Amino acid sequence: YDVIGITETWLKKDESFHIPGYVMVSLPRGAAHRGGGVALYIKSSLIFNELPHVTCSTNTVEALFLELLCGIIVAVVYRPPDSSVPAFLNKMEDFLMFITQGNKKSVICGDFNIDLCKGMPTDYLHLMQSFNFSNVITEPTRVTPESSTLIDHIFSNHEVHNGAGVYDTNIADHFPVFIFLPTNADQSHRINIPHHTQRINYELLHQTLSAFNFELLHNSDVNRV
């Protein structure tokens, strides 16, 4: 995967977790508050620029933005479950206005704590759609014996993508979600976004990513997968 996004890293300002072959960009929560934090892992061979003017960490939303050299803007977002939804939507509108100024292809993903299984939260979806962003995740991303919710979303303003979905894994209490995007060079930039409401098990994440054969995702023969 070219980019991996993580929410609720629980990392402090001077802490990091290295994944071989990737550069980590972290946005921890303020020292006065525990938990939270978001991060992006970018493949070492890719050139990117951080976007500090739109990146922010508040009580309402934590959001980290960067732009890949190929022109794709990538963001990972976390909305705390007890934060104001109207205030969050106001901030999201600011984000969208900023990143769409140059008409660039963009992907916004994360744990929004807005359940799309419970009808359609019209204000939220109308806001995203007004900037030509559509959610590509349609299956529940957090399943317990008592509930099944779709609170981890990937929004893209790409007209086409090469696949998107949910991985059924126990890395955390949320399922990772992913999207494959075509680029101008006709190569796939693959963005995988695990989300968590519990502290991430970095050792398990490292072992899982290292051991998983991602080539299986490109195999259309179900008898060989």
Q: Give, for all 225 residues of the chain, the pLDDT tens digit.
A: 899 999 999 888 888 888 899 999 999 987 667 778 999 999 999 999 999 999 999 999 999 999 999 899 999 999 999 999 999 999 999 999 999 998 899 999 999 999 999 877 789 999 999 999 999 999 999 988 899 999 999 999 987 788 899 988 777 788 999 999 877 654 445 555 444 444 555 566 666 666 656 555 455 443 444
**Domain regions of the chain by residue span:** 3-215
Report how far apart, in Å, the C-alpha atoms of 148 and of each of 32, 109, 170, 175 are: 32, 19, 15, 11
Q: Which of 89, 88, 27 is nearest to 61 (CA)?
A: 88
Residue pair 25/66 in contact by the 8 Å Cβ criterion:
yes
Q: What's residue 195's pLDDT?
A: 47
Dist CA 120 CA 161 (whole Å): 23
CATH of domain 3-215: 3.60.10.10
d(Cα 104, Cα 14) in Å, to the nearest integer? 32
What is the predicted pLDDT for the residue at 186? Answer: 44
Query: What would the DSSP string read from start to end of the chain?
Result: --EEEEE-----TT-----TTEEEEEEPPPTTS-S--EEEEEETT--EEE-TTT-EE-SS-EEEEEEETTS-EEEEEE--TTS-HHHHHHHHHHHHHHHTTTT--EEEEEE----TTSS--HHHHHHHHHTT-EE---S-SEE-SS-EE--EEEEE--S--S-EEE----SSSS--EEEEEE-TTS-EEEEEE---SS---HHHHHHHHHH--GGGGG---TTT-
Provide φ and ψ at 130, rounded to 5°: -65, -20
Query: Is residue 73 within 8 Å of residue 104, measured between CB atoms?
Result: yes
